[in-house]
Structure 1
Amino acid sequence: MRRLRLLVLLAAALTLGTLGCAASDGEPLPTVPRLGLVSNTLDWGTQMAAMQRRSRDLGAGWLREEIRWNEVEPVRGTRRWARTDRLVASATRRGLRILPLLIGTPRWAAPDPTTIPTDPRRYAAFARDVVRRYGPDGAFWRANPDLDRRFAMAWFELWNEPFLPQFAADRQDAGTYARLVQAAGNAIHAAHPRARVLAAMEYEWKTPDGTFRRWVRDVHAAVPELAESYDGVAVHPYSPGAPIGTAAAGASKDLRRMELIREDLRAVGGPTDQVWITEIGWPTCPQRPACVSRAQQARYLEQAIRAAGGRYRGWVRALFAYALFDFRPASGEPLREGAFGLLELDGREKPAAAVLRRAGR
C-alpha cells in the first residue's frame, strides 16, 4: 500500500472540491457488493469528517482505514483508543462502514513499525482487543448507544502486503506471516463468533535473496492448517495498463492474477469465494509508462468495476479504489507514488471520481 501523505492544501481541497471535472452519466455500472476508498481519514485531524463526506459523496460506502498497533499501544500494556474512537464515531455518523487494516509494530516490540512480529502473540492480543472494542457487541458501541451498531466492524484485514520488503522491514517471509495470521485469526474468531478475517494473498513474491516463489503455497506450507484461521483474502491486483490485458501480456500482470491466486487457494483448501480487492488504482503523472493519463485512469477504473461486478461476480466481494487524494511523494520516491488519487492536490476531481460516483449509485 502506498501510504497517503498529508502534504495537501487542505483549504484548497475543501474550497475547490465541487469544481472538479464534471462527467456525464454513462452506461450503468454493475453492482459491487462493497465499494470503498482508501482514504486514510484517520490522519486528517480536524478535517476527518470533511474527508469522510468527500469519500461518501464520491460513491464510497466503505473506508479502508489503518488501526495502528504502534499508536494504540505505544507503551506495552496500555491501550489508547481515543483517535480510533473518533474515527469510528465520525464514519458511522456519515453512514460509512470501515474495513480496519491492523498494522504497525510498536517500538517496544520491534525496531521498525513495518517489522512483522516473529512472536505474533502480542499482535494477536491487539487484534482481539480491536474486535472486543469495535466489533459486533463491542465496548465502543455499548458506550455510545446513540450510534448505529449495525456499523460495527465485521471484517479485519491482517497487515498490508507482507510479501513486499517495504512492509516487512526488508525481511519478508511467508512463514512469519503465516504464523501471524494463525495467531491473530484464531484470536479474532474467539473474540466474537461473527468476526471475520482477511489474509493478504498474492500470486508470486520475491524472497530477500531474489528468488521468486508462490506466496499462497508458501504460507500454507509453513502452517498446513492455516486455512482454518481466516475467512477471505485481501488482494491488490495492480496492473500497469488495462485491468485485463492481452493474452500476450500474461495473466499474472493484471486482474487475472486473482484467478491464479484462487487456483492456488483451491489447491491448499483456502477460501475461494471471499476475494476482496482492498487496493486498486492507476497513477496519473507526466511520466510514461510509469503513469497513465487521467482519461485512462477513469477508463481503467470503470473496466475494473465492470469485471468485479460481471466476470468475477459471486466471488469478488469488495473493491476499494486507491486512493482519495494525490500527495507529494517524499524525497527520492517516484512521482507516480503520489499520483493515484481520484482528487488532485488542490481537491479538484479527476474523471475517475465520476466513475466511482456512478458505481456508488
Structure 2
Amino acid sequence: MLTDRSVSRSRPTRRAAGVGFLRRCSVSGAAVLLVLVGVPTPASGAPSGEVPRCVAASDGVQVGGSPGGSFGFLSDEDLGRELDIAKNAGMFSVRIDIDWSVVEPQPGRRDWSSTDRVVDAIVARGMCPYAIVTYAPAWARVATARDQPYARPASPDAFGAFAALAAERYRDRIVLWEVWNEPNITTYFTPLPDPTVYALMLRATYRAIKKVQPEALVLAGGMAPAVNNGTNISPTAFLSSLYTLGANRYFDAFNVHPYTWPFLPNDLSTAPWNTAMAMWSMHDVMSAEGDGGKQIWITEMGAPTGTNANAMSEEGQAESIGIMLNALLGNSWLGPAYVYSMRDSGSDESDTEQNFGMVRRDFSPKPALAEITEFTAEHSG
C-alpha cells in the first residue's frame, strides 16, 4: 500500500448523432493496487456536476479548438487569424500546451513569454484558454528515458510544483486545466504507461492547482485511442485503474481523444477498438463508482484529409466531426468537444499529421468549418 506520504519512483446521416454508438464494450481493468489515502482531498470549487465560469457561459453544448503543440510558435498574424476563425466558428475555448520543457529548459530559468502571448490572444477574443500542463524538460525526466521528449517526469511532486507556478501566473485567465497528454500510450509516457505513476502526478497536480485556484476545473489527461497490448493501455482500462487507485478524487472530469479515422465514429465494424463507442463504457465505470455526475470531455477529435491511404476525404472529415458533435446532444455526461485541429500544420498532403485542420494551410476553408459553424449556431447558447 502506498500512503499519502510516499513518493513515486518512476453510414448514418451526418445528423444521426450518437445513434450508431455501441452502448457497451467490455474491457478488463488493470490489476494495480494503490490506495491514495491519508490526507483529505482539498475542497474543490468545481464539484461533480458543476463547472466554473468559463464553461458555464453558455446554456448549450460547447465546442472548442485544439490546435496542437506548434500553436505557440506561430507568428502574431497567423496566431490571430487562427483564433479569429475559431471565434467566428462559435468555439468557446482553445486548448493549449503549457509545456514545462519550453518554459523551464534549465532548472530555475523560466521564460513564460510564448505562453503569455497565446493566453493573452485567446482571452482578448473572449474565449477561454484550456491549459494542458505537460512534458518535462530533460533534467526533470525519468532517468531511463531522459533523451525522450515525452518521457514522464521523474518526480510527480516536482511536476505538481510547476503546475502551481502556472496556476499562480494565470489564475485570472485560466480556469480549465489538464494533467499531461495521452498518458495511456508509450509515445507520450515513456518508457511505459503506468496508471500508478500517473495517479501520483494527478494527485500532486490537482492539489497544487486547487491550492492556488480552488475554483479551477482539473481534468485527467486526455486518453489516446489504444488497446491493451503490453505497450499501451485502453482508455477504459486506464480509467478503471485510476478508480482502483483512488485517484478519482483528483480530477473533476475525465477526458478522451476518440479518433476513429479513416472510419466514421459510428461504424459498428470498428467496435472492438473504437474509442468513441467506448465512451459509454467509461461513463458506466464512473457511474458504478458513484461518479456519474462527472463529465467526460472530448478534448481532441477529428480526422486528417489529404492523399495518404489512411486519410479521409474532406467531406468524410466533416461527416466524422458532425457525428461526434451530435453525440453531445442528449448526453449530459459528455462535456465540451474540442476539434483537432484548427488549421493544417503543413502543406504536404501525403502526411496525415499535417492535414487535420478545419481550414487548409492557406486558410481556405474545408467543409468541416461550415459543419462546426452550423452546429454551434444551432446548439451553443
What residue is the counterpart of 1:316 in the other structure? Answer: 334
**Paired residues for 1:252-263 under 5 Å:** 252-263=273-284
**Hey, what's the Cα distance between the residues in 1 that align with 2:65 and 2:114?**
20
What residue is the counterpart of 1:141 in the other structure? Answer: none
Match of 1:122 among 158, 163, 171: 158
Whether the 8 Å CA contact 1:217–1:268 is kept in 2: the answer is: no
What residue is the counterpart of 1:291 in the other structure? Answer: 311
**Hey, what's the Cα distance between the residues in 2 that align with 1:186 and 1:329?**
42
Percentage identity across paired residues of the two chains:
25
> Residue type of the partner of 1:242?
L
Whether the 8 Å CA contact 2:206–2:218 is kept in 1: the answer is: yes
Measure how far apart 1:354 and its partner are: 0.7
**Hey, what's the Cα distance between the residues in 2 that align with 1:182 and 1:71?**
23
| Structure 1 residues 156-188: Cα deviation after superposition (integer angstroms, max 9, x where no partner) | 011111111211124222211111111111111
> Is the alpha carbon distance of 1:210 and 1:317 closer, same or farther for their aligned partners in structure 2, counting shifts above 3 Å?
closer
Whether the 8 Å CA contact 1:128–1:188 is kept in 2: the answer is: yes
**Hey, what's the Cα distance between the residues in 1 that align with 2:113 and 2:308?**
41
Measure how far apart 1:252 and its partner are: 4.5
**Hey, what's the Cα distance between the residues in 2 that align with 1:188 and 1:207?**
33
What residue is the counterpart of 2:76 in the other structure? Answer: 46
Q: Does 1:350 align with 2:366?
A: yes
What residue is the counterpart of 1:265 in the other structure? Answer: 286
**Hey, what's the Cα distance between the residues in 2 that align with 1:211 and 1:53?**
37
What residue is the counterpart of 2:99 in the other structure? Answer: 68
Measure how far apart 1:229 and its partner are: 1.2
**Hey, what's the Cα distance between the residues in 2 that align with 1:71 and 1:126?**
12
Measure how far apart 1:232 and its partner are: 0.4
Q: Does 1:359 align with 2:379?
A: no
* SS of equivalent to 2:138: coil
**Paired residues for 1:221-260 under 5 Å:** 221=244, 224-240=245-261, 241-246=263-268, 248-250=269-271, 252-260=273-281
What residue is the counterpart of 2:149 in the other structure? Answer: 113
Whether the 8 Å CA contact 2:305–2:312 is kept in 1: the answer is: yes
Q: Does 1:195 align with 2:223?
A: no
TM-score (norm 1): 0.78
> Is the alpha carbon distance of 1:299 and 1:273 closer, same or farther for their aligned partners in structure 2, counting shifts above 3 Å?
same
Measure how far apart 1:216 and its partner are: 1.2
**Hey, what's the Cα distance between the residues in 2 that align with 1:249 and 1:233?**
23
Measure how far apart 1:57 and its partner are: 2.2
Measure how far apart 1:341 and its partner are: 1.2
Whether the 8 Å CA contact 2:292–2:333 is kept in 1: the answer is: no
> Is the alpha carbon distance of 1:211 and 1:34 closer, same or farther for their aligned partners in structure 2, counting shifts above 3 Å?
closer
Match of 1:306 among 315, 323, 326: 326
- Count of matched residue positions in the alignment of Structure 1 and Structure 2: 312
| Structure 1 residues 226-245: Cα deviation after superposition (integer angstroms, max 9, x where no partner) | 11111001111111322222
* SS of equivalent to 1:67: strand
TM-score (norm 2): 0.74
Gaps of 5+ in 1: 1-25, 137-151
Measure how far apart 1:250 and its partner are: 1.6
Measure how far apart 1:270 and its partner are: 4.5
| Structure 1 residues 66-91: Cα deviation after superposition (integer angstroms, max 9, x where no partner) | 11111222222333222222222211
| Structure 1 residues 261-315: Cα deviation after superposition (integer angstroms, max 9, x where no partner) | 1122234454653211000001112344x121111111221121111123x2x11
What residue is the counterpart of 1:99 in the other structure? Answer: 130
* SS of equivalent to 1:63: strand
What residue is the counterpart of 2:28 in the other structure? Answer: none
* SS of equivalent to 1:53: helix
| Structure 1 residues 22-59: Cα deviation after superposition (integer angstroms, max 9, x where no partner) | xxxx98x9x85321111243221323222211221233
CA RMSD of aligned residues (A): 2.8
Of 334-343 and 154-163, deviating more is 334-343
Whether the 8 Å CA contact 1:262–1:272 is kept in 2: the answer is: no
Match of 1:88 among 119, 132, 136: 119
What residue is the counterpart of 1:33 in the other structure? Answer: 61
Measure how far apart 1:114 and its partner are: 0.8
Whether the 8 Å CA contact 1:66–1:101 is kept in 2: the answer is: yes
**Hey, what's the Cα distance between the residues in 2 that align with 1:211 and 1:64?**
24
